[in-house]
Structure 1
């Protein structure tokens, strides 16, 4: 997220997810679900398999 100069809060607003979900993923307290992966793919253009 640093290369994109994007905070977790800003990302969650862009992809309509709870901030706590992204924070948990960033701190290894949660795995990336299929839904989150697809949303991240749509936002970033990076394949969902990456996530």
Structure 2
């Protein structure tokens, strides 16, 4: 209901998302794309940002 696709805790320490970004980090894993199928998908930016934040 309402198109809910993600939830997070009040303190932001846990987030659950659909679709699962860990399953679609390459374009070949997407159900449809007009981009290079061998390249990273836009979801890869989530992991790059996480890596920068942890450093």
Would you tell me which structure has more helix in proportion to its own residues?
A: 1
Q: TM-score range by the shorter chain?
A: under 0.3
Would you tell me which structure has more strand in proportion to its own residues?
A: 2
The normalised TM-score by structure 2 is 0.25
